[in-house]
Structure 1
Amino acid sequence: MECRFPSVPGAERILSDEALAFVAALHSRFGERRRALLAERDRRQARFDAGERPDFPTDHPGLSDPEWRIASVPDDLKDRRVEITGPAERKMMINAFNSGARVFMADIEDALSPTAENIIRAQINLYDAARRTISYRDPATGKDYALGDKIAVLKVRPRGWHLDEAHLVIDGERVAGAFVDFGLHAFHNAQALIDAGSGPYFYLPKLQHHEEARLWADVFAFTEEWLGLAPGTIKATVLIETLPGAFHAEAILYELRQNIVGLNCGRWDYIFSYIKTHRKDPGAVLPDRAAVTMTVPFMRAYALHVIKVCHRRGAHAIGGMAAQIPVKGDPAANEEAFAKVRADKEREAGDGHDGTWVAHPALVPVAKEVFDRLMPAPNQVDRQREDVVVTQADLLTPCDGPKTMAGVRMNVNVGIGYLAAWLSGRGAVPLHNLMEDAATAEISRTQLWQWRATGTRLDSGETVDAALIDAAFHAEVEALREALGEEAFAVGHYGAAADLMRELVQADELADFLTSVAYERHFAD
């Protein structure tokens, strides 16, 4: 084994021989299956490119057997009315734990820029959080941060199956980022969390098929045996944030039925996946990103489908992210942002969701007021939505809406702005009064690519082609350079971000993930 993580204070405790042996065991036992499932993703996408359409599995016991239910839900996960998410960074974690939310999802995935140092610091922070010893002193202000008496329940989101960790290599092969993130946290912290009255709880991202869920189920069973935990101790919520995964939602519940407690509507990645799945289909082109809301028909069908299958099987259905953040110095804009969150959460609670996500502590009381008012019980799992019937066409038919040059420019602006921050080591980024993670940049990239590849006509009559894309990038880069100044533009990696984003948008083939390409170019050494 070659371990090339940097030597930051506390790393030796995380990267102990025993912990690395466990991660190596995960790699040895499950690495080949992971690679096979990733290869199957590629074959499936090739079929979609050739005209096959995603559909519900036809011969899976999770769909045909009406009787099965998930195993029990721990007491501290029965009420999840408001969950807050954020990167596994020390100060943000403490603020999230103290926010008044029921659950805090500490992210090692899309909200964390995966520099080697960030990955190890995340594990150090989780180690301290599991023992309730996490604290922080801001070096700029001298302000101290510590946990309050009542804190949110910890859940951790490891990286998805597709991401490798370049700084841990076994027999010349990189270990999966998922095995590193999950393995180190479970090994070090499972028992401490149990002793504190909670448990090792996870969020699983970007699953596309029930066989990928089965792999996680087997990883959990192996881990429970290795650590001497009772079967079913590890609990997980799966993000339904891919279009193929939505069709497999009930089968995913079945495969993980001993460990799963719910599904979550990962709305932004879902839009990204919708575009990527239909990347070569001119009949499935979405409008400007701002027009693809949760109330358009195919997104509404997706949310109702998740609620229905969850409640049928005894699982929680958690609503999507409210990305709004407070607008400082503009009370009217701030109230408008809060009103959008309030309306979004009223729709979710009214539809039957058992809780929701926010990205900022200031939004916790807004979402909590809605769910307290509309969901007085801890959850509404007993609210069956048998009135909901979702078909293949309901999930696949695109929505109408404007396709504008302003939409092109916004995609370019957000793509560059997010990627520049990511290259600077920040994965959760405030842009245009929204807290964005990698999913936003992925929507921007894939929509620009698809509009160009399919020759989409804008409402103004212009055709999106390579020249129009280049002009949009040039205009945005010059605007950023003028707004920031030359020094901040250079130090902030804006030039590198623009070059990489433009390259990927203009490429002949659509790269699977922006973060995979950027990781190889900038963080893998």
Structure 2
Amino acid sequence: MVGFETFLETPLKERKSFVGYDVPEGVDIRGRYDAGFARILSKDALQFVAGLQREFRNHIKYAMECRIEAKMRYNNGGLPGFDPATKNVREGEWVCAAVPPAVADRRVEITGPVERKMIINALNSGAKVFMADFEDALSPTWENLMRGQINLKDAVSGTISFNDKARNRTYKLNEQTAKLFVRPRGWHLPEAHIFIDGEPATGCLVDFGLYFFHNYSSFRKLQGQGYGPFFYLPKMEHSREARIWNNVFERAEKMVGIENGSIRSTVLIETLPAVFQMDEILYELRDHSVGLNCGRWDYIFSYVKTFQEHPDRLLPDRVQVGMTQHFMRSYSDLLIRTCHRRGVHAMGGMAAQIPIRDDPKANEAAMELVKKDKLREVRAGHDGTWAAHPGLIPAIMEVFTNNMGNKANQIESVKREEAALLTEEDLLQIPRGVRTMEALRLNTRVGIQYVAAWLTGTGSVPLYNLMEDAATAEISRVQNWQWLKYEVELNGDGLGVKVTRCLFGRVVEEEMARIEKEVGKEKFNKGMYKEACKIFKRQCIAPKLDDFLTLDAYNHIVVYHPSGSSKL
């Protein structure tokens, strides 16, 4: 393995001896060569991805520039709100395309990374849907991304299996499996191992393009029954981004010769600006939509990011920012009303708890919290919800079934017309609660351990009886940053101390010592904890808030190999 710059300095005749991918003109693969990966990175598949990149890259760049302009407005005191220019869309009587019968019932969905064993277990879990994740639950190493595409191709074909030698067990798909949705990365993330016309490809176009190209024919056989393919779309801030996705879908359908509307997607409403664009987002995707989802962890992260220059909007401890906070409840209620008015699913948020196997009493308490949260969701009118662990599915399924009966969803039965009265002030109300030293410590401990795992290729990590992913790590980061920037007073535990750099430095040292004790000295020294600590601490004390933690950390997992493209 060598750096790509070293490879470029290698004489051409020596480079030709490398085994590499057969690529179309203008495409350069800089990731490790593997014969299995080469089947995914076929010339035709890469040509398909390159076609999408070339057609939409300028639209994507413009959308990212608009995000920067919006951030500047918010940083200068502006607030997000409903757009007067699209009032006619919000007040119009249009509806989305009918929900395909195959995904009419989505009462419990499980999510997880595109790891082979995880895919099999999730599809067999008893959930109605499995969302295979290339985004927040995945560390986007070259190996993870390419193996994930192989795994999904095998899952769609029904041939996927996994031989667990340690347990002497082979995992295979059951006769009945969950419906498969795939979540590509957000618009902002590059794929640095694939260059198209001299610049990194857009990560989500790589994820979507490779998966769609290799699997659309399998879905096409079931087209009359409405079997997809299905996607989840993350991190949008404006309907112009939904329009790009809709155009990508139409272009993909046209390129392979399948019916318009074959592709269906659910959009995660997980940024504060997007809550004011829900009708507009559905309108742009109306031929390709099956609903919206309350991506509540990212939504909390986005609240801090949106108001990073507003000292009057400081968050309390993250554990206190739940769905009973007025701005969170308003967001959920408006999402339900919007989706049901347009004839599509309104999906609830993630239950991040995991079974506590060594403490039955604590496990029972955790399950009661999950049931209470899901009861709130189903009674509010949500058509389904998310779980992070298979162990939660029976309890959640029972709650939804007891309250929905034999109805597949609540689209027609729960309209929530009163949510039409919700105002911008309702959606922006400042969350209430206290700030504590324990929260500062927990944020620091969770953030460092998550980044350490992410750097070694793991994007979904069980920590302190919760499943942490990039979204929850982002809350830890931005809350620490906000408290440090404004030197907030910790007022919830009687300490009355301010969060200064000096205090934070001491907290980091003490929490690193605690992490070492918890994981063991050998694992600590072999892991990436020290590097993760540097990254996380730097992000927390930075004068300006970085948009995403993973953009900074991504540079640490990009590895270039010389035996990439064969066309030189």
Shorter-chain TM-score: which interval? over 0.9
Shift of 1:39: 1.3
Deviations 1:206-260 (A, max 9, x none): 0000100001011011001001110010000000000001111111011110101
Secondary structure class of the residue paired with 2:367: helix
Q: More deviation in 477-486 or 379-388?
A: 477-486
* Partner residue, 2:50: 24
Give distance in 1, aligned partners of 2:207 and 2:526: 30
Give distance in 2, aligned partners of 1:9 and 1:473: 44
* Partner residue, 2:9: none
Residue of structure 1 aligned with 2:428, choices 393, 396, 400: 396
Distance 1:339 1:64, change over 3 A: closer
Deviations 1:22-71 (A, max 9, x none): 00001100011101111111111011000000001112166344210001
Does the alignment pair 1:466 with 2:501? Answer: yes
Deviations 1:145-193 (A, max 9, x none): 0000000000000000000000100121000000000000111111212
Give distance in 2, aligned partners of 1:50 and 1:111: 33
Shift of 1:273: 0.4
* Partner residue, 1:379: 409
* Partner residue, 1:148: 174
Does the alignment pair 1:164 with 2:190? Answer: yes
Matching residue's letter, 2:230: Y
1:11-410 alignment, distance < 5 Å: 11-60=37-86, 63-196=89-222, 198-376=227-405, 377-382=407-412, 383-388=414-419, 389-410=421-442
RMSD: 1.1
Matching residue's letter, 2:548: F
* Partner residue, 2:541: 506
Shift of 1:478: 1.4
Distance 1:74 1:151, change over 3 A: same
Could you tell me whether the CA contact under 8 Å between 1:345 and 1:356 is conserved in 2?
yes
Q: More deviation in 284-293 or 134-143?
A: 134-143
Which sections of structure 1, spanning at least 5 residues, go unmatched?
none
Q: More deviation in 477-486 or 331-340?
A: 477-486
Q: Report the count of equivalent residues.
A: 525
Could you tell me whether the CA contact under 8 Å between 2:460 and 2:469 is conserved in 1?
yes
Which sections of structure 2, spanning at least 5 residues, go unmatched?
1-26, 561-568
Could you tell me whether the CA contact under 8 Å between 2:97 and 2:288 is conserved in 1?
yes
Give distance in 2, aligned partners of 1:22 and 1:87: 24
Give distance in 1, aligned partners of 2:505 and 2:527: 21
Matching residue's letter, 2:154: D
Give distance in 1, aligned partners of 2:257 and 2:157: 19
Give distance in 1, aligned partners of 2:557 and 2:416: 47
Question: Which runs of 4 or more aligned residues in structure 1 lie more than 4 Å from their structure 2 counterparts after TM superposition?
Answer: none
Give distance in 2, aligned partners of 1:358 and 1:195: 30
Using the size of structure 1 for normalisation, the TM-score is: 0.98
Shift of 1:484: 2.9
Deviations 1:394-453 (A, max 9, x none): 111111111011110000011011111111111111011111110111000000001111
Q: Which of 1 and 2 has greater Rg?
A: 2
Could you tell me whether the CA contact under 8 Å between 1:280 and 1:453 is conserved in 2?
no
Give distance in 1, aligned partners of 2:90 and 2:437: 47
Secondary structure class of the residue paired with 1:80: coil
Using the size of structure 2 for normalisation, the TM-score is: 0.91
Secondary structure class of the residue paired with 2:312: helix
Shift of 1:471: 1.1
* Partner residue, 2:451: 419
Shift of 1:102: 0.6
Shift of 1:138: 1.2
Matching residue's letter, 1:439: A
Could you tell me whether the CA contact under 8 Å between 1:163 and 1:177 is conserved in 2?
yes
Deviations 1:55-98 (A, max 9, x none): 01112166344210001211111110011100011001100000
